[in-house]
Amino acid sequence: MVQGYAKRIWRCDTASLEEFTQLAERAAAAGATHVFVSDLPKSRWQWERDLSDPYPNWGMMHSSIFKVIVPPELQRWLPADYAKKNLEIVVQRCAILKRFGLKAAFSACEPGWLPEEAYQEHPDWRGPRCDHTRRARHAYYSPDIDNPEVLAMYRKAIAELCRQAPIEYFNLLTNDSGGGLCWSLGLYPGPNGPESCRTRGFPARVAGFLSVIQAGAADAGLSNVEVRIGGSIPENEADAAAPLLGPGQSVQGRTDTGYAPAATVGSFDDFYASNLYPVTGLPQTVKFAEQLSVLKSARAEGQSVVYGFSSLGATELFEICKRQPALQGAGIARRFAILREVAAIQVGEANAEELLAVWNDIAVVVEELSHLSEGGPILLLGGVNQRWLTRPLVPFPLELKAADRDYYRRFQFQAKGEEEAADLMNLQDNWMVKGFAARYIAEQIFNRALERIEDGRVRCMGLSGKTTDSAHRAAMELLGLRLSALGCLVRNAEDVCQYQEILDRTDLTRKPVETAIWHLPADPRGMAIREIVRREIDNTDELIRLLNRASAPLLKLAPSQAEEDVFLLGPDLPDQLHHKVRIMLEHEMDYDRLYSRFN
């Protein structure tokens, strides 16, 4: 581990206590000091209040204090059973960490929004509106942390949490995902909140809140708790808050003694930052090694470094992490030499060079796709949030029967009406690719990515044939299948961008003019859009074959149909894809309503 960092914190989602034990064992062996215990089941109750509003899908992914400890004052409005289960998980994980000499870290979205009914009965608790106004059907309000009653609830909840689970590091996300601070310039709706606290100022407000978190921990006997808060906080607000902060407090990396942000390694493995989601199991080893190489000694006392791992199966990243002392300060040649050592462990010395080339192909693909990430990565915002992957390409989507529409429409991140939902390029109210010029640029990016995906796939197939080790062979075959699946998702994105651009150049209310003139050419738009439709049908059929062939997951899917949501495709994905193809074929003749035909 890199020297000089007071806290070396590991983060990795685990599905069971057995997996968490494995994580703790690896972390302890690698010299970690803390492990996050806050990857908890989604709070679906937040979305189920109104399934037509996709915005709570952001907040329900994040933990919060009141999702683990429900203060008595909130028990009428927050589900106690859900919190009880979460607390059990956290307590059990902390007990495991104690066995390995590790401490617990907790990540939360704070102050997180509360149900409207709580504010109806206690209007003084209502803080700022914190939702994204162009992505939500309802207004969501976080509690007012200038209100003494609200602060008292936080202090009691933290104290109870720390009594049962000694957590010594809190990392808070704010002004995002359903959480926010009164009158902050970083709030999505703009600065807002109750008039009673308008003049208090951001520095006193945030410093007071962090002090309450620490006071609650102190009530439980923990005296050296660190609390960091960040997210959408403008630099001027963070700078202004710094002088008021106490020991162990930071705002957007600022402390009372200087600038000491937590360094991060592996943050790209988060679903929102990977640029490859929902494809799973594609190791970003090149980027991981690069991030380790630029870590320097801590610039301020108490600075932390957070290591993020995509899963316990990311054995390549764990091996690279072991070599951090050699990587620290290493140039590109040394980095790749170390990566080659790790590749040799994976597939043997004779095949290490080929696997290293595959990892480099993946790095290039990520770099290419990162150019289409305004507001979020395009495969996530388009392929998943807009359900490009499962929705049919038809020219009149609003005419579809309910059975041919609901299976994807209810999981679209689209809040402001059906016409906006029908626009394939409306990505959470962003238009990343709009117009012919943007389509052309996107095509160049997609095609360069596809070239490297195919190169990596071919190399994987070659590696699977060269190795005599059955485990190595299976691993390379699976990696090749995952690259093939990624290729299907990228082609899907390209097809959809091209399709919508042609529709945008088409008057959907005007019937085509056709005559009896012999050898009349067809409308080139109609020819092009039919070609896209056929290509996407074939691409979808290929993805179905890949999913049915694979012995392990290729994509991140919901564990059950009941758990499918805006950010998770359903486990019945092959059936949904079959449904998509059937609908597209049934509506082939609809294009005759828009474009003249050959005669």
Say if CB 113 and CB 182 are below 8 A apart. no
In a domain, 337, yes or no: no
Give which of 36, 15, 42, 27 is closest to 90, Cα–Cα.
Answer: 36
Digitized pLDDT (tens) for each residue of the chain, 599 residues in all: 445 577 899 999 999 999 999 999 999 999 999 999 999 999 999 999 999 999 999 999 999 999 999 999 999 999 999 999 999 999 999 999 999 999 999 999 999 999 999 999 999 999 999 999 999 999 999 999 999 999 999 999 999 999 999 999 999 999 999 999 999 999 999 999 999 999 999 999 999 999 999 999 999 999 999 999 999 999 999 999 999 999 999 999 999 888 777 888 996 667 888 899 999 999 999 999 999 998 875 554 567 899 999 899 999 999 999 999 999 899 999 999 999 999 999 999 999 999 999 999 999 999 999 999 988 999 999 999 999 999 999 999 999 999 999 999 999 999 888 999 999 999 988 898 999 999 999 999 999 999 999 999 999 999 998 888 888 899 999 999 999 999 999 999 999 999 999 999 999 999 888 777 777 788 899 999 999 999 999 999 999 999 999 999 999 999 999 999 999 999 999 999 999 999 999 999 999 999 988 77
Final residue belonging to a domain, choices 188, 206, 224: 224
- Domain contains 300: no
403, 412 contact by CB (below 8 A)? no
In a domain, 471, yes or no: yes
User: Of 224, 239, 263, which one is at a domain's C-terminal end?
Assistant: 224
Q: End-to-end alpha-carbon separation of the chain, Å? A: 72
Whether residue 415 contacts residue 389, with contact meaning beta carbons closer than 8 Å, is answered with: no
| CA 170 – CA 157 distance, rounded (Å) | 14
- In-domain check, residue 599: no
SS3 state at 257: coil
Among 523, 517, 577, smallest CA distance to 545 is for: 577
Which residue range(s) make up the domain with 560? 371-593
- Final residue of a structural domain among 224, 256, 271: 224
CB atoms near residue 223 (< 10 Å)? 10
Convert 95-128 to b/e letters by CB count within 10 Å (16 or more is b): ebbeebebbbbbbbbbbbbbbeebbeebeebbbb
Residue 452 inside a domain? The answer is: yes
How many domains does the chain fold into? 2
In this structure, is residue 282 part of a structural domain?
no
Q: Which tokens is 351 given?
A: 């095949």
Pairing verdict, β 126-129 and 141-143? antiparallel
User: Does a structural domain hold residue 443?
Assistant: yes
Tokens 């690259």, located at residue: 483
Taking only Cα atoms into account, the Rg of the chain, rounded to an integer number of angstroms, comes to 26
Residue 330 within any structural domain of the chain = no
